[in-house]
Amino acid sequence: MSAASARHIWLCADDYGMAPGVNRAIRNLIEHKRINATSVMVVGSAIDRTETEALKASLAGSFDCAVGLHATLTAPFHPLTMHFQPLDGGRFVSLGKLLRKSFLRQLDPEIFEAEVLAQISAFKELFGRAPDYIDGHQHAHLFPQIRDAFLTATKKAAPDAWVRQCGRSLPFAQRLNSPKALLLDALSATFRKKCTHANTTFNSGFAGAYDFSKKPDFAGLMAGFLDGLPDGGVVMCHPGFVDDTLMNLDALTHQRERELAYLTSDDFFDLLAMNNVTLARK
């Protein structure tokens, strides 16, 4: 493979702000130049001035790392806007309930637009600038009704940001082994069309979705993620150290430590070199 055909990708660690252990792991990867993007949850349980300044300090030695907003619209987190609906005990509803309501057209897009705008505003308050990109926790930004509100809010408050689409660049026959990823492919096809109509930039390809509950070998998964990923594509990851905060918030726990262990290993850099892949620059 020639140097001219090298691919530059975004390796994005989601969920900065969810828990102290997640934050610490992401900062470690940034400082060692193992990732080049992280998405911040401004409604997370571990996002404040101290955690923000710690992230900024890590970024100071890695000018190529992008920082985005991880727009969060699902439980167990709380909205920033006062009159947000639907809620469950003051929190966002579960992912499954939100998905059903979106397909049944039972949501108010204006309410979701206001919430995304509030989260962009909170990001700006923390970082003193707009996010480099915006994506969605649990991919809720791709759902019907929500995607229109999400793109409208992005255009209003962060017009230079790109957004994450989650469709894979694989032949159809190779997509059938993952129902979750197949759903993301279908949702992303419509999302990309809406992005094009809105003149909003999006990533060329996507990888990183898998069944966390099966505790698979992340090294093998990463090799598959890179296979066929185009230049400018995004690989999503969820590294972290498990702590009490994380255990109380999220079902994805020890798999985060397995991801972290692989990303800090020499095997990871060897895989990138073998595939002639480098991390993209801002």
pLDDT in tens, 238-271: 999 999 999 999 888 999 999 999 999 999 999 9
pLDDT tens-digit map of 178-229? 666 788 999 999 999 999 999 999 999 999 998 877 778 999 999 999 998 9
Residue-level pLDDT at 178:
60
SS3 content of the chain, % helix, strand, coil (to 5): 50, 15, 40
* pLDDT tens digits along 9-51: 999 999 999 999 999 999 999 999 999 999 999 999 999 999 9
Half-sphere exposure of 253 (CA within 13 A, CB side): 10
All structural domains of the chain: 3-279 (3.20.20.370)
Task: Report d(CA 142, CA 209) in Å as an integer.
Answer: 14
pLDDT of residue 244: 96
Distance CA 224, CA 218 (A): 10
Would the pLDDT of 273 be above 50?
A: yes
pLDDT-derived band of residue 2, with 50, 70 and 90 as boundaries? Answer: very low
Q: Indicate the average pLDDT of the chain.
A: 93
Question: What is this structure's pTM?
Answer: 0.94
For 80-100, write each residue's pLDDT tens digit: 999 999 999 999 999 999 999
**Radius of gyration of the chain from its Cα atoms, rounded to whole angstroms:** 18
Beta-sheet pairing, 162-163 with 133-136: parallel
Alpha-helical segments (H) within 158-278: 172-175, 179-198, 218-226, 244-249, 254-263, 266-274
Give the model's pLDDT for residue 169.
67
250 token code pair: 């999220």
Which helix or strand (DSSP H or E) is residue 278 part of? strand 277-279
The per-residue pLDDT for 171 is 54
pLDDT for 219 equals 95
